[in-house]
Amino acid sequence: MAMAVFRREGRRLLPSIAARPIAPIRSPLSSDQRRINLHLFCREEGPLGVRSISTQVVRNRMKSVKNIQKITKAMKMVAASKLRAVQGRAENSRGLWQPFTALLGDNPSIDVKKSVVVTLSSDKGLCGGINSTVVKVSRALYKLNAGPEKDVKFVIVGEKAKAIMFRDSKNDISLTVTELNKNPLNYAQVSVLADDILKNVEFDALRIVYNKFHSVVAFLPTVATVLSPEIIEKESEVGGKLGELDSYEIEGGETKGEILQNLAEFQFSCVMFNAVLENACSEMGARMSAMDSSSRNAGEMLDRLTLTYNRTRQASITTELIEIISGASALEAAK
């Protein structure tokens, strides 16, 4: 400890002396070699010419790694609290579209002329791999559905997917939506969005790609299919689940076609609402685990740096001791 104090004092006293030049090696070295030698001398002499291996560099790194660890821990807490808030709403909103699936069935493998793929992603980053999985699934859907006379267009929600899709599928994008998460998610917002999509894009089938939230560590990319009313009519003639629609009695003065149209629009809106909520949940969960592993990595890095720091510190103390002792013994021997 006294050594450390002495060293610190030494550092304060020595600036006047330390204007001594770092001895240039007068030999035919290349400029790189000279620079490396300079570097070595500098490191050995410390920032102010003190004769100790510098622990300053390691200490700076430790400070910055510790700060990063604190920040990522805080982000994890924030994501965890946001997750808790959205999770309840997402699970409750699942009940919105379940009656539709019971009535109309889910037809992911339907073959239509015009499909529109709605890709949901997040605006902010640092959330692990969820956005890239969603984009992968969207691209796969594109390949599945593209072909002669068939048309696939993208509607992208969220900045992250926009950036990724822009690189290779930009000619197929028809709409992008951003800043959806500025206010807390509510049905009114999503329904206006659904309305805009309906008005701007022609479709026979809408495939919504999102991350379904199963648990805090598990989110699976899912595709939800919503058909346009004309296709439903066509399918109901074929039979199957949709064929039973005719057995329902329709009240009021509306025809089956009108009811189907209303239902299709409302179904799209409900499915979008649920998909957006589940995607938000998955985003929070992914961010939690990403920040968690990041803090753990920072902790490990800090451990390693602490070991290096201690080793350098002890080495420099030992060097000083050796110098002092050899100096003292030389004086004794000279006596």
Write out the residues near other proteins by the rule CB under 8 A. 170-171, 173-180, 182-183, 186-189, 191-196, 198-200, 253-255, 258, 261-262, 265-266, 268-269
Task: For residue 115, list its beta bridge partners.
Answer: 152, 205
Shortest reach from residue 179's CB to other proteins, in Å: 5
Cα 157 from chain centroid? 15
> Which is nearer to other proteins, 179 or 249 (by Cβ)?
179
Name which of 22 and 96 has its Cβ closer to other proteins.
96
Give the nearest distance from C-beta 254 to other proteins in angstroms. 7
The least CB distance from residue 259 to other proteins, in Å, is: 10
| Nearer Cβ to other proteins (262/306) | 262
Give the rounded distance of the alpha carbon of 258 from its chain centre: 43
Quick one: 258 or 323, whose CB is closer to other proteins? 258
CA distance 277 to 91: 9
CB of 211 to other proteins, least distance (A): 19
Take residue 14 and report the two structure tokens written for it. Answer: 């020595």
Alpha-carbon distance 264 to 126, whole Å? 36
Min dist CB 93 to other proteins, Å, is: 13
Measured from the CB of residue 169, what is the shortest distance to other proteins in angstroms?
9
Phi-psi region of 95 (alpha: psi -120 to 50; beta: other; left: phi over 0): alpha
Question: Toward other proteins, which CB reaches closer, 156 or 223?
Answer: 156
Given a contact cutoff of 8 angstroms between Cβ atoms, the answer to whether 23 and 38 are in contact is no
Contact between 265 and 206 under an 8 Å Cβ cutoff? The reply is: no
Distance CA 219, CA 158 (A): 18
Q: What's the full length of the chain, in residues?
A: 335
CB 234 within 8 A of CB 252: no
Nearer Cβ to other proteins (184/327): 184
